[in-house]
Amino acid sequence: MINTVDFITPPVDDPYWFGQISAANSISDVYSMGGKPLTALNVVMFPSNHLDMGVLREILRGGNDKVIESGACLAGGHTVDDNEPKYGLCVSGVVHPDKIITNAGARPGDGLILTKPMGSGVLFNAVRANKYPFRELEQYTLPILASLNGPAMNAALQFELHSCTDITGFGILGHGLEMAVGSGVRLIIRQKDLPYYPDALDMYKIGQTTGSNKDNRKMVSQFDFILEGSLDRHSEELLYDPQTSGGLLLALPMKQVDAAIKAMHAAGVADAVCIGEVTDGAPGLTCVV
């Protein structure tokens, strides 16, 4: 049995999108361990004296739709009056004890697959600052963020999957280093192969950032991280961009990578791509420009 709890503050003002993205983010913790979600409980903080209850209804509707899509059952939940809306799920799932996937199993000779683009953090902040139109975010980025990681994991489990983590608040470097150090290996990530949401780089170029970039950079500096090559400051910031409901980072034998990506594409995970490899060496991460 797997039990996870996760909730977030609104990445966007639209309550239905907020509910969907929050639920997908919460359920991802079960998927990333190779599990199947069974039940979910709503976890809600809501300023009932300041926001219309219709907003709460739409948040919960979005979350419920994602729970149903995952095949799990929404069994209730708990609501607390708070000054800022927050929403997520407590999710229970199952996985065979011998088949649990962790972020500490990557092996030399593995290839690395990433299943969703990155850059959502700066785009959310740009929308809040009225520097980026919400309609642009809604057209391409939000549907991917709200998509479940289940199809990607189900496809990956058809192969010899060694390790997995989902990319969330610590960004690609933070979560990649967790996998590298936990596995006792070195991750080589090719910066040119990293997928990003449209306009994410442009937002950094006009001065937008996130509240987590600085902390993520500080955290990464405490580990063995090498940036091999020259990268402009704005492109470098994308490496530290925090994700909400990000994709999976998967490690499996390099000879199986192409077939695994093909299976993911067939399952509707259109953005799955190989971004690097796992090697021997001092545990850490090298980003090759």
- List, for residues 33-53, the tens digit of each pLDDT value: 999 999 999 999 999 888 889
Tokens of 264: 């993911």
String of DSSP letters for 243-256: -SS--EEEEEEHHH
- At 164, the amino acid letter reads C
Q: For domain 2-99, give the CATH superfamily.
A: PurM-like, N-terminal domain (3.30.1330.10)
Give the Cα separation of 246 and 21 in Å (integer). 10
Rounded to 5°, the CA angle 222-166-253 comes to 95
Q: What span, in angstroms and rounded, lies between the C-alpha atoms of 218 and 203?
A: 22
Angle between helices 213-220 and 171-183 (to 10 degrees): 30
The pLDDT value given to residue 232? 93
Q: Which two tokens stand for residue 158?
A: 């058809």
Q: Is the pTM of this model over 0.75?
A: yes
Query: Using CA atoms, how far apart are residues 112 and 116, in angstroms rounded to an integer?
Result: 13
pLDDT number for residue 13: 81
Task: Give the pLDDT score at 6.
Answer: 73
State residue 29's pLDDT score: 95
Collect all residues with Cβ–Cβ distance below 8 Å to 62 and sequence separation of at least 6: 15, 16, 17, 18, 19, 20, 21, 22, 23
Domain boundary assignment for the chain: 2-99, 110-288
CATH class of 110-288: alpha beta
Q: How far apart are CA 220 and CA 284, in angstroms?
A: 10
The CA distance from 276 to 114, in Å, is 9
Phi, psi of 93 (to 5 degrees): -145, 175
Per-residue pLDDT reduced to its tens digit, 184-235: 999 999 999 999 999 999 999 999 999 999 999 999 999 999 999 999 999 9
Distance CA 268, CA 151 (A): 7
Could you say which DSSP state residue 118 is in? Answer: B
CA 204, 21, 243: angle at the middle one, nearest 5?
35
Helix H or strand E segment including 194: none
With H, G, I as helix, E, B as strand and everything else as coil, classify residue 147: coil
Alpha helices (runs of H) in the chain, residue ranges in sequence order:
15-31, 53-70, 120-128, 134-136, 142-145, 150-156, 171-183, 200-205, 213-220, 233-238, 254-266
pLDDT along the chain (289 residues), means of 10: 71 90 96 97 91 92 98 94 92 96 98 98 96 94 97 98 97 98 98 97 97 96 95 96 97 98 98 98 96
Closest CA to 119 of 95, 136, 106: 136
How confident is the model at residue 270, as a pLDDT?
97
